[in-house]
Structure 1
């Protein structure tokens, strides 16, 4: 997936030529080790101004160092004390994780609100079959003064018409040659693809990394994409003429970043099946 590898570890893996798909397979099989970061960064995007997307969350490993050094994945505030992210981002103990919401520049500890994570609920089907890459983080205190990002009505598809542009944001890798992880949040607009196109790119031979048209969407074109470090963050549409953003997906996985024929795969937050099965055999830590 567009895996969370700790920033230094991610740079080492990419420099060594390890493919993203291999890293993703390992992450699905076992809980992420403490040095793991998320999917690659925004490719072909632009910097975001302060407070443009206050609902954006950064998942941080607890420990020494700045948030820039400790960030592993993205997430989104969906309720006052709940953050949604990708299941592959949160394989460990909630006590080892903290979340900052409303921060644009990771190293600026004057921005945003820092919260501990008290529990994690990952989708019970994640890692057993394609798709279902979603997890819910429960925070120790509510986030004050920040409006959660809006979610689509389950079972609808009006927001994912092929060819439509959507925006993805994150602190992930920005360079396909030499890893570069930015301090300031970045954004890029990517075109949504049809289920048929996504299935061609990620067929059954990919195993649990294959495309699942029930719970996934895919987006991107050569030169614009999400990447390592962006995992768990939101892809969203914006209601014309307003500041209302509707999250249509969660950064999940992909082969490479911004490569021809390798669009990013996102967990579709409008999937009724995704939420109907979320709590079946739930994994809450």
Structure 2
């Protein structure tokens, strides 16, 4: 996962992003993630999928990839993940887009193979809503909502847990995390094809033991040695598929962590079922507006 550290004061350039490492999910053995001079997702070292597998076309159509606008391949321009929350809104991590102008990025939804322009939908971003508490310096509220210029039709958005409940984050439950993050902790390698791994949800006590700054009111953590999200997949979803239910329930947003799939260092996610997370979105005018758009 990402190593938590202070954010840089400025957003990196597109060229710097393409040259640097990304917040991703790793798919290799456990090892220590090396912080690159420039993080692909902009503000923190990246995250990748460790212990995961490539997914066939059409898997997880709600998955979104955030891209810097440009002429390079989407594989080189992708810097964070996300998920379709409604036909007009993509949810991601605040640290992916804080300080970014909406006109400089675009989003793909439903694309498994980043380089295949025939897959999924490509949308411009009309506005970026960073959680107001994150904007004020509280990194536990690592959520941002991207307002798309046109709706994405024909794709089922993710479901969210009932606000204020914790049934879906019971310790020991298995959840899935997916993304296009770095797959090699030694030599950065970013896959074209979406990858995913199943990880166990941990108790708040275990999470707090690993990260003193962990806030159980808005965070959840998951992972085990050899299986984790890591550099390059920040903003992507942690989700569960429930027996007898259609679609998936997103329980987390890839946020931060210490190393990649190391023992005692699980990945930390923004908990999407947190009542506090959604209630405090009202603390900004943009937050209130997007809540009305989502019917929350």
TM-score (norm. length: structure 2) = 0.83
How far apart, CA to CA, are the structure 2 residues paired with 1:202 and 1:248? 19
Native 8 Å contact 1:190 1:221 kept in 2? yes
**Deviates most, 63-72 or 36-45:** 36-45
Q: 2:283 aligns with which of 241, 262, 280?
A: 280
Distance change (3 Å), C-alpha of 1:144 and 1:37: farther
Q: 2:55 aligns with which of 48, 51, 56?
A: 48
Native 8 Å contact 1:6 1:38 kept in 2? no
| Alignment deviations for residues 57-103 of structure 1 (CA, whole Å, 9 cap, x no partner) | 00000112011010000000010010000000002100001000000
Within a 5 Å distance, the mapping from 1:147-226 to structure 2 comes to 147-203=156-212, 210-226=213-229
How far apart, CA to CA, are the structure 1 residues paired with 2:217 and 2:285? 19
Partner of 1:256: 259
How far apart, CA to CA, are the structure 2 residues paired with 1:282 and 1:133? 18
How far apart, CA to CA, are the structure 2 residues paired with 1:48 and 1:196? 33
Q: 1:8 aligns with which of 6, 19, 25?
A: 19
Distance change (3 Å), C-alpha of 1:163 and 1:176: same
Q: CA deviation at 1:197?
A: 0.5
Q: Please list every run of at least 4 consecutive aligned residues from structure 1 whose deviation after the TM superposition is greater than 4 angstroms.
A: none
How far apart, CA to CA, are the structure 1 residues paired with 2:163 and 2:185? 35
Q: CA deviation at 1:7?
A: 5.0
- The alignment of Structure 1 onto Structure 2 pairs a total of residues equal to 265
- What SS does the corresponding residue of 2:20 show, helix, strand or coil? helix
How far apart, CA to CA, are the structure 2 residues paired with 1:18 and 1:191? 24
User: Structure 1 unaligned runs (5+)?
Assistant: 12-16, 204-209
Distance change (3 Å), C-alpha of 1:8 and 1:243: farther
